[in-house]
Amino acid sequence: MNNNVKLYPIYQVAVHFIVWMPVFFLYFSELVSLKQVVFLEAIYYISVVILEVPSGYFSDAIGRRATLIISAMALFLACGFYLIGNSFWVLAIAQICFACWMAFQSGTNTVFYYESLKDAKLQSEYGDREAAVNKYVMLGSGLAALIGGIVGTYNLAWPYAITLIAALTAIVITFLFKEPSRTANEQAKTIFNQLKQTIGYLKTAPFGWLFSYMTIIYVIAHIPYEFYQPYLQLLENQTLTSGMEAPLISGFIYALAMFIGAWAAGKSMAITRRFGFVNVLVFSLLFMLAIVGLLGIYLHPILISIILFRSVPRALIKAPLHALITPKIGAGQRATFYSIISLIGRLSFFACLFLLSWFIPKNQLTDWPTISKLFIICLGIGVILCVPLLALLKRNSTKLKL
């Protein structure tokens, strides 16, 4: 089982080596209208929502290894359809495959690593090892972004071809994995029983509050991720960025954001121990709101420095949250539990994207008034959601300790 422990960090880097991330919005915009781009993103999120619980149950009932194999294969197929990319519907199929990749690895990867460490008698090191893996993933993602930005200046389809190679590497590694051991009592029951037990966890403190927190910060954190590419595109004619192409700027910014996030991920457990789990949670949430607000108020190259820190909040909280939650969830419900959390987060963001689409006129081109309006709407939604969440924090703070 130590083989899993050694291979897992390499697998995580390979399966998250998504070279197209800094150029996907630009690539879609070359092929379809702005409104259709938003709909394509909505298709991705609703597809993940549909697949989340079945994939989590599949992981708990059938196995972690098989789930990760399906995930890697789905990423490979997504790359193929993106490369074809000759219509809205082909891109929609690619988005569904990409959603399958996300749904089948979301939660299962974390659970697989914890259970593999447990088999190797290393579960006490889980938090720090998870933080290290997160750091490696973000460093890999930063390198992928640099490559994507550079090759994207020549052809926006090339990043998808490079990602296809990374996906193939991930497929090979998943076949080398071994299934973590579980006792008969730790096997999943029926899906209805899984859902009942998961809801039972969410009714107990502090899981209910953490569930709300993870949902809200997921939505807020994805706003700058979705719209920073058109924001950068609008800066192409600004004085400080004149002559630089959007794919190159986007790749460079995405890479730096990942490198900064990697530092935060690597230090996340140490920072949490020093400043306290609750303080880190509150800081991350408020910092994310500040980023969304600033990007919506002003279009200026200086705000590129703000975009650089967009990965820090979630990087700071990911390993500590997993270290707190994972050991307290039964082995037969772990993947389903994380799938429920992911489902609600993505369903919420799908609803947000669907709402935003109503504020974009048909055949609207990318312009600053539209992008600014979208950011400000999202800031308002975030503030409305955060006020009651923070008001309930004191009631749960005593149980939010590692």
Residue 244 has pLDDT above 50, yes or no: yes
Mean of pLDDT over the chain: 85
pLDDT band for 280, please (50, 70, 90 cuts): very high
Residue 240 has pLDDT above 50, yes or no: no
Greater confidence (225 vs 124) lies with 124
87-91: which pairs have CB atoms within 8 A and are 24 or more residues apart? 87/31, 88/31, 88/32, 88/36, 88/40, 91/28, 91/31, 91/32, 91/40
307 within 8 A of 249, measured Cβ to Cβ: no
Greater confidence (303 vs 248) lies with 303
Q: How far apart are CA 31 and CA 36, in angstroms?
A: 9
According to the model, what pLDDT value does residue 156 have? 86
According to the model, what pLDDT value does residue 87 have? 86
Question: What is the average pLDDT across 36-53?
Answer: 84
> What string of DSSP letters covers 134-147?
HHHHHHHHHHHHHH
Residue 136 has pLDDT above 90, yes or no: yes
Question: What is the average pLDDT across 105-128?
Answer: 91
Residue 357 has pLDDT above 80, yes or no: no
User: What amino acid occupies position 9?
Assistant: P
Q: Where are the domains of the chain?
A: 2-178+188-399
Residue 208 has pLDDT above 70, yes or no: yes
According to the model, what pLDDT value does residue 184 have? 56
327 within 8 A of 113, measured Cβ to Cβ: no
Residue 296 has pLDDT above 50, yes or no: yes
**How many degrees, rounded to 5, is the angle at CA 8 between CA 307 and CA 214?**
45
301 within 8 A of 250, measured Cβ to Cβ: no
Percent of all residues in the chain with a pLDDT value above 70, rounded to a whole number: 92
Q: How far apart are CA 315 and CA 284, in angstroms?
A: 9
According to the model, what pLDDT value does residue 198 have? 77
CATH among 1.20.1250.20, 3.40.50.300, 3.40.50.1950, 2.30.110.10 for 2-178+188-399: 1.20.1250.20
pLDDT in tens, 53-81: 889 889 888 889 999 999 999 999 999 99
According to the model, what pLDDT value does residue 239 have? 47
367 within 8 A of 29, measured Cβ to Cβ: no
Among 129-143, 146-160, 354-368, the range scoring the smallest mean pLDDT is: 354-368
According to the model, what pLDDT value does residue 365 have? 59
CA atoms within 13 A on the CB side of 326: 25
334 within 8 A of 36, measured Cβ to Cβ: no
According to the model, what pLDDT value does residue 311 have? 87
